[in-house]
Structure 1
Amino acid sequence: MINIPRGTQDILPEETKKWRYIESKLNELMELYNYQEIRTPIFESTELFARGVGGSTDVVQKEMYTFKDKGDRSITLRPEGTAAVVRSYIENKMQGLPNQPIKLYYTGPMFRYERKQKGRYRQFTQFGVEAIGAENPGIDAEVLAMAMHIYQSFGLKHLKLVINSIGDMHSRKEYNDALVKHFEPVIGDFCSDCQNRLHSNPMRILDCKVDKDKEAIKTAPQISDYLNEASKAYFDEVKQHLDDLGIPYVVDPNLVRGLDYYTHTAFELMMDNPNYDGAITTLCGGGRYNGLLELLDGPNQTGIGFALSIERLLLALNEEEIELDIDNEFDLFVVTMGDAADRYAIKLLNDLRKNGIKADKDYMSRKVKGQMKQADRLNANYTVVIGDQELENKNINIKNMQSGETEMIQLDGIVDYLKNKE
């Protein structure tokens, strides 16, 4: 037997209903915020992610699915969405479009070769937004408010917004220099990954899962001490907007989000529920990237965005025991007796479906009792039983499966009857 690849999952019909509901709701929310959908290829040039995500990151060094195609080109299955969206923005010259900033969102599979954990897969579905072309604290606040709105719209209540500023490029460089100076004397005690990152991206040391409890990390310099006046003013405006919107937040100086392209605002949205013994789960994260477009040979434009895993959103909903408002109703199940009725039912179903009525029949040659059980399993609102007598008389009894009441109608009047019941 051939089994599913490790780190992937089959999403079976009962679960796909939840996925469709979530994706539909996300699309509706994006219309409210005037964000337009973009779809990029599942694979891109490896160079895009090496440059756009950062050569020092775990994503590039350890987690990408990379291969050579038949033209001997290095190709990578996309591990995240931002780099691909920015590539498309540059390639399609979106900076020249009249409506600025360009507000985009995407949903699609991403691929990372990492150890399987609860809510984390090697193929996962990411939803993300990118607002490109405006460096304005107001749009930073809009993006943070949107992230909060998304999770609240699904009924989640125990949410914690954590924010910080990484500052502009100058502030970030000053901070990186301070981290190098701080870690250099003790770097030999750290893991090999941290040793490799010391001079390429020292902020990543602060994210290390292996060395997170080391004293040097606890006493490391904080970015807030290295922000220049312009960066402090920008961050103060973002916080003021959040205060105006009534959105609570926590400033965490250790939140640095070490991807190479982040500047200014960085944030994570977490699930913080005391019923989980204080457990906090990161639901989504993102921030502002003021150097990414130029890094990818694009114009001097800025952007901000975030991404979330739909798998992790579903996990949060399950942990909160939130039931999605999914329409599981089924309009009509047709029970047949005899070959003539069976043939008629196939034509009837075709007419019903063309009129927007959800309908089905038995194809397993079950007895009437078995067909009625099937109608119950489908949560059918109505059933009809068609046999030789009904075909001859042109009349039929339609049964309301909730009340148990029956009503006689003309056989060719089923569509109109159900339409009037909507």
Structure 2
Amino acid sequence: MSQKIQSVKGMNDLLPVEQKDFKLTAAFWQAFENTVQKWAARYGYRQIRTPIVEQTGLFVRSIGEETDVVGKEMYTFADSNDRLSLSLRPEGTASCLRAVVEHGLTHEAPQKLWYMGPMFRRERPQKGRYRQFHQVGVEALGFEPAQIDAEIIAMCADLWRELGISEFLQLEINSLGNREERAAHRAALVDYLRRHEAALDEDSRRRMDTNPLRVLDTKNPDLQAIADNAPRLADYLGEESRRYYREFKDLLDGLGIAYRENHRLVRGLDYYNHTVFEWGTDKLGAQATVCGGGRYDGLMAELGGKDTPSIGFAMGVERLLLLVREHGCLNADAAPAVFVMQQGEGAVLQAMKYAAALREADWDVLQFSGSAKLQKQFKHADKSGARFALIVAEQELENQEVTIKDLRGTHGQTTVPAAKMIEQFKLWSE
């Protein structure tokens, strides 16, 4: 017997049923996708879909060559002619903006775009963090005022309410200022870290010269005091950046959205400026962040487009759905509405016709396949989770009737003329 080939570690199959080590089902996922599509449309966002493979240079230029994502986590390989370096996308913003610039989408009007799809990072798999993971991303391109910053926060809050998880998520915000202000802070921060270099761990020493802001975001408890006493970016913000940040916070206050200011919140990618934010939870262990984003006003120009004020966010679908599954609410009932069973000569064809009529009337129908006693078919009906059973046996065929049984409710069983079948289903479903 040939040896089984298993999936790649950190890349999960999505099955109709729960797995031992991966509890999300395809039906639960589909219910979330349907919710997201309606939610994005309510705010005027249109969907964009981009390839999962891009030129490596796109991510080097946008995310930053010295970031952990580009330096350590990307899946990168040479094209077949060895002339081009390609990478599986590790995040969605760069791909979305590449498409916007390439096709000139912002030439005539600002754009509100959203996407959903797989991303890839080579890292240690753990609960809520996988090598192939999925994100829902939202990008608002060409909108300048702090109003759009507050709107996308409100947009997130609306989704959390719809999913029943508002009480389990905490919003943290910060301002990273502009390029010049970040440069001044970076110089002071590097000087400070050099004075404490002996106490830093290996990751922090590596980041000290390449991405020193990430040192402030360390999870190492031994470095918390050093991070707490480091120069704060807020102290280097000019009046214009402070005004922008105040206006943003005033809008959140006016909308009744609670938040906590975290001056160590920096996000992991180089392209952010001004507003940054994260929604986190203490219900998923160490992997607390389920959604994060911020402004990236200079990124469009960096990718060859016009200088365009922009803001966006991405949420980790696996983490979010784990939270919803345990603490929220999402209607993911994949059971058919009607289970059709048949017995007797000619019953199969007639039952198929009834099933077709029900489907045409927008009912989800599962028909038993094969020949078995009705008692066995009822066991299959019960296991399917169907609300109703439709029975077509010899007596029903002879009298042009159908028998309908309520498998989950209180209506019991009745026999009606076949012409009244759909009417009876509607009556019992009210």
Structure 2 partner of 1:344: 350
Residue range with higher mean Cα deviation, 59-68 or 203-212: 203-212
Which of 5, 9, 12 lines up with 2:12 in the alignment? 9
Change (3 A) 1:212 1:168: farther
Structure 2 partner of 1:388: 394
Cα distance in structure 2, aligned partners of 1:57 and 1:13:
37
Change (3 A) 1:342 1:290: same
Structure 1 partner of 2:144: 135
Residue 123 of structure 2 aligns to a residue in which SS?
coil
Structure 1 partner of 2:372: 366
Residue 265 of structure 1 aligns to a residue in which SS?
strand
Which of 317, 322, 326 lines up with 1:315 in the alignment? 322
Which of 271, 277, 280 lines up with 1:270 in the alignment? 280
Displacement of 1:33: 1.1
Matched, 1:292 2:294: no
Given that residues 334 and 360 in structure 1 are in contact (C-alpha distance below 8 angstroms), is that contact kept between their aligned partners in structure 2?
yes
Counterpart residue identity of residue 298, structure 2: G
Cα distance in structure 1, aligned partners of 2:319 and 2:291:
9
Residue range with higher mean Cα deviation, 69-78 or 56-65: 69-78
Q: 1:140-179: per-residue Cα shift (whole Å, max 9, x none)?
A: 1111221222212211113211111110111111111111
Displacement of 1:363: 1.6
Counterpart residue identity of residue 188, structure 2: A
Displacement of 1:204: 1.9
Change (3 A) 1:227 1:368: same
Cα distance in structure 1, aligned partners of 2:406 and 2:151:
48
Structure 1 partner of 2:362: 356
Structure 2 partner of 1:200: 210
Counterpart residue identity of residue 315, structure 1: L
Displacement of 1:108: 0.5
Cα distance in structure 2, aligned partners of 1:411 and 1:200:
74
Any stretches of 5+ residues in structure 1 without a counterpart?
none
Number of aligned residues:
416
Cα distance in structure 1, aligned partners of 2:75 and 2:222:
27
Cα distance in structure 2, aligned partners of 1:103 and 1:366:
55
Given that residues 206 and 212 in structure 1 are in contact (C-alpha distance below 8 angstroms), is that contact kept between their aligned partners in structure 2?
no
Written as runs of structure 1 = structure 2, the 5 A alignment for 1:96-111 is 96-98=107-109, 100=110, 102-111=111-120
Which of 86, 91, 97 lines up with 1:86 in the alignment? 97
Structure 2 partner of 1:301: 308
Change (3 A) 1:258 1:6: closer
Structure 1 partner of 2:21: none
Written as runs of structure 1 = structure 2, the 5 A alignment for 1:116-135 is 116-135=125-144
Cα distance in structure 2, aligned partners of 1:319 and 1:405:
34
Q: CA RMSD in A?
A: 2.2
What's the % identity of the aligned pairs?
A: 41
Displacement of 1:325: 2.6
Any stretches of 5+ residues in structure 2 without a counterpart?
18-24
Q: 1:347-392: per-residue Cα shift (whole Å, max 9, x none)?
A: 3323322332222222243321111122222233332322233222
Structure 2 partner of 1:228: 238
Residue 366 of structure 1 aligns to a residue in which SS?
coil
Displacement of 1:4: 1.5
Given that residues 130 and 304 in structure 1 are in contact (C-alpha distance below 8 angstroms), is that contact kept between their aligned partners in structure 2?
yes
Cα distance in structure 1, aligned partners of 2:256 and 2:219:
34
Change (3 A) 1:107 1:353: same
Counterpart residue identity of residue 123, structure 1: Q
Cα distance in structure 2, aligned partners of 1:95 and 1:343:
56
Residue range with higher mean Cα deviation, 254-263 or 356-365: 356-365
Displacement of 1:329: 5.4
Structure 1 partner of 2:263: 253
Counterpart residue identity of residue 285, structure 1: G
Given that residues 345 and 394 in structure 2 are in contact (C-alpha distance below 8 angstroms), is that contact kept between their aligned partners in structure 1?
no
TM-score, with structure 1 as normaliser: 0.92
Matched, 1:397 2:397: no
Given that residues 129 and 287 in structure 2 are in contact (C-alpha distance below 8 angstroms), is that contact kept between their aligned partners in structure 1?
no
